[in-house]
Amino acid sequence: IQDIALEKLAKVCDLNELDQIRVQYLGKKGELTGVLRGMGALSKEERPVIGQVANEVREAIENRIEELKEELKQRVREAQFKAEKIDITMPGKKVASGKKHPLLKSIEELENIFMTMGFDIVDGPEIETVYNNFDALNSPEDHPSRDESDTFYITDNILLRTHTSSVQIRAMENRKPPIRIVSTGRTFRFDAVDDTHSPMFHQLEGLVVDKHVNVANLKHTIDLFIREIFGNQLETRFRPHYFPFTEPSVEVDVACFKCLGKGCESCGGTGWSMELLGCGMVHPKVLRNCGIDPEEYSGFAFGLGLDRIAMVKYGINNIRLLFENDKRFLQQF
């Protein structure tokens, strides 16, 4: 029995087989167990002799089984380690991370500048009343910007706002002076698309209303944030202009970002980046429309094109790039 058992054990190659052989010899109905059970039928003289042999055989088989068990377990473990081995010298997988859109970056930067200057950031709807977008802002009935060829009307009284100045009206109706707010968002005009125009674009609106607010405060505020966002060396130029809701009204040019005012190709030789910003002192009629007494309070307002700011700041020469969501473009920022 021992010879056959050991021979079989020599061929075992997994734990299942090993267990089968254990059962075959040492199990309850196993061959060796049968021999030990049959001992009762033996004579007194035979019993110790046979018993001793049988026990030796059992021990030999048991020991071999134990040894093999350890060996096989070890082999399984080694195979597992091999399969699970990690090559720490392999290059890692690239994690594709998103980038902030240049427009969002400009907006966040501007909002931070104005927050440190004490302005509240407020929101306004893109779908507006004709009243908030035009009437309350003292826009004359026959002003060309009201024309259907310039403005997206939804009904006679509702439109897509053509500027963020409508937020001024909401702020003055809902707050009491002193008012200091800034609001950014989308604006819409019936413009043909070219390198610098898009029917959907973005503006930032600012409004300050308090006692004794004057033009010097306006000029200082504009100068300050232009320097903050573009850097100290940039000069500004204030040109007289007309807006129905401000008097006096001014347009502000900023020295060309590339040539710093010397004149280069990107500014057409003028040295100035044009039409970044419109501003002025809030018209007394507009204050009155919102229930604020122009004898007691005065204010200034400003509106700027955010797309232009982002384009000047990041050297983008085509406004379409801002809205096409081309990954090759977006990944550069």
By CB under 6 A, tell whether 124 contacts ligand PHE.
no
Binding-site size for ligand PHE (CB under 6 A) equals: 10
| Complex with ligand PHE: residue 22 or 289, whichever CB lies closer | 289
Q: Among 151, 177, 303, 322, which residue sits at the site for ligand PHE (rule: CB under 6 A)?
A: 303
| DSSP codes of every residue in 95-135 | P------HHHHHHHHHHHHHHHTTPEE----SEEEHHHHTG
Contacts of 253 (CB under 8 A, 6+ apart): 236, 237, 239, 272, 273, 274, 275, 276
Q: Are 165 and 103 in contact (CB under 8 A)?
A: no
| Complex with ligand PHE: residue 68 or 276, whichever CB lies closer | 276
Q: Among 279, 290, 311, 312, which residue sits at the site for ligand PHE (rule: CB under 6 A)?
A: 279
Alpha-carbon distance 252 to 268, whole Å? Answer: 17
Smallest distance from ligand PHE to CB 97, Å? 36
Radius of gyration of the CA atoms of the chain, in A:
43
Q: Among 30, 102, 177, 280, which residue sits at the site for ligand PHE (rule: CB under 6 A)?
A: 280
By CB under 6 A, tell whether 18 contacts ligand PHE.
no
| Complex with ligand PHE: residue 261 or 278, whichever CB lies closer | 278
Alpha-carbon distance 97 to 94, whole Å? Answer: 9
| Complex with ligand PHE: residue 107 or 301, whichever CB lies closer | 301
Q: Among 5, 68, 301, 306, which residue sits at the site for ligand PHE (rule: CB under 6 A)?
A: 301
Smallest distance from ligand PHE to CB 206, Å? 8
Helix (H, G, I), strand (E, B) or coil at 236: strand
Q: 247 a known binding residue?
A: yes
**CA distances (Å), origin 198, targets 117, 187, 308:** 31, 10, 11
Helix (H, G, I), strand (E, B) or coil at 212: coil
Helix (H, G, I), strand (E, B) or coil at 200: strand
Report DSSP state, residue 189.
-
Q: Among 30, 177, 278, 299, which residue sits at the site for ligand PHE (rule: CB under 6 A)?
A: 278
Binding segment (CB under 6 A) for ligand PHE, from list 12-20, 33-41, 64-72, 277-285: 277-285
Cβ atoms within 10 Å of 83's Cβ, excluding its own: 7
Q: Among 198, 221, 246, 298, which residue sits at the site for ligand PHE (rule: CB under 6 A)?
A: 246
By CB under 6 A, tell whether 243 contacts ligand PHE.
yes
Peptide bond into 248 cis (omega under 30): yes
Long-range contacts of 47-53 (CB under 8 A, 24+ apart): none
Binding segment (CB under 6 A) for ligand PHE, from list 120-128, 284-292, 296-304, 320-328: 296-304
Site for ligand PHE in 164-193 (CB under 6 A): 165
Annotated binding residues, written as ranges, equal: 247
Q: What is the binding site for ligand PHE (CB under 6 A)?
A: 163, 165, 243, 246, 278-280, 301-303
